[in-house]
Structure 1
């Protein structure tokens, strides 16, 4: 498990080392914000998987968001 954590940490640090300085120099603050907002959940989720923590399924969140919309569209448009 230690090796897995080390390799994941190394991979994320490599991604940060390659991307962040370029984004800061070019003053691409929106891109840096998007990179950070996508990387942080990925880091947390990957550590959770390695440590066998009970994690929520991201698909459940997507279904809970779009299922009411799909049901409403079905009411308006009729069943397929």
Structure 2
């Protein structure tokens, strides 16, 4: 497990070292904020998977969000078979 944690950490360090300096030099603050916003959950989720933490499946959230919309569209447009 230690080796896997080390590989995950090294991978994220490489990604950060490749992306962040370029964004700072070009003063792309919004892109840097978006990069950080997306990278943080990726890091947390990766460590969770590596440490065998029981994590929620993001697909279940997407299904819960869009299921009512799909049902409403079926009512409006009619079901296709």
TM-score, structure 2 normalization: 0.95
TM-score, structure 1 normalization: 0.96
- Which aligned runs of 4 or more in structure 1 are off by greater than 4 angstroms? none
Gaps of 5+ in 1: none
1:78 aligns with 78
Total equivalences in the alignment = 80
1:10 aligns with 10
Gaps of 5+ in 2: none
Give the RMSD, CA atoms, in angstroms. 0.7
Write the deviation string for residues 15-73 of structure 1: whole angstroms up to 9, x where unpaired: 00110011011011111111111111111111011100000001001101111100010
CA distance in 2, matches of 1:13, 1:40: 12
2:36 aligns with 36
CA distance in 2, matches of 1:74, 1:36: 38
